[in-house]
Amino acid sequence: MVMKKKAIRYNSLNDFFESGNTEIWYAKTSAWFLWETKKLSLPKTEKELKETHILLGNIDLINPHEIFHKFQGEYWSSNGEARDLIIARGLNHTSMSVGDIIKFKINNHALIVKSLGFKKFTIARE
């Protein structure tokens, strides 16, 4: 009988990524659907952002293409390591997807993932 090594479970993003000044916000399911159907506008304030997205954590990466690549499930959770973290946050997707947001804490600029590429916008400080 071959025993498989039990997968490590992440308690935070920083179990896999270095902590930093880039925030990763995943869209709540309803927000993603509304954004895709153009019934929801981009969040203008942190309060609006918290209504439609959930902060997954902070990382030390700034290149959006690298972030998108590294937030695909097969890269950062190939054995289901992020499953408990995703469920605990009330989310239902591990891979970064359309509607998710990368926010840079230094200047409050943000990028929302589109079907093809990103759209840049600013979130006002409150």
Residues 41-98: pLDDT tens digits? Answer: 788 999 999 988 999 999 999 999 999 999 999 999 999 999 999 999 999 899 999 8
Going from N- to C-terminal start, the domains of the chain cover 17-122
Structure confidence at residue 5 as a pLDDT band (50, 70, 90): very low
First to last CA, the chain: 58
Q: How many residues does the chain have?
A: 126
DSSP letters of 31-75?
A: HHHHHHTT-SPPP-BHHHHHHHEEEEEEES---HHHHHHHTSHHH
- What's the predicted TM-score (pTM) here? 0.88
Q: What percent of the chain has pLDDT over 70?
A: 85
